[in-house]
Amino acid sequence: MSIEDLRNDAAEMTHWERHKFFVLVASVIVISFFLVSVALSLYNSSGAAQLDLSRPGYQDVRDQARRDTTAKSFPSTGELDQEALDTFKKLYADRAAKVTSVDSFDATALSPESLQLFAAPSEPAPIE
Q: Which stretches does DSSP call E strand in 58-128?
A: none
- Rounded to 5 degrees, what are φ and ψ at 103? -70, 125
Q: Would residue 116 count as lying in a domain?
A: yes
Asked if residue 45 lies in contact with residue 38, where contact means CB atoms within 8 angstroms, the answer is no
What pLDDT digit, counting tens, does each position of 14-31 carry?
777 778 999 999 999 999
Q: Would residue 92 count as lying in a domain?
A: yes
> What pLDDT shows up at residue 27?
97
Q: Would residue 99 count as lying in a domain?
A: yes
Residue 117 burial (10 A CB sphere; 0-12, 13-18, 19+): middle
> What amino acid is encoded at 55 in this protein?
R
Q: Would residue 127 count as lying in a domain?
A: yes
Report the distance separating Cα 100 and Cα 47, nearest Å: 20
Low-confidence ranges of the chain (pLDDT < 70): 51, 53-59, 61-63, 65-71, 114-128
Q: Would residue 40 count as lying in a domain?
A: no
Q: Would residue 107 count as lying in a domain?
A: yes
Which domain, by its residues, includes 99? 67-128
Q: Would residue 95 count as lying in a domain?
A: yes
Residues 6+ apart with CB under 8 A from 74: 87, 88, 91
Number of structural domains the chain divides into: 1
Q: Would residue 81 count as lying in a domain?
A: yes
What pLDDT digit, counting tens, does each position of 95-108 carry?
888 777 777 777 77
Report the distance separating Cα 65 and Cα 59, nearest Å: 10
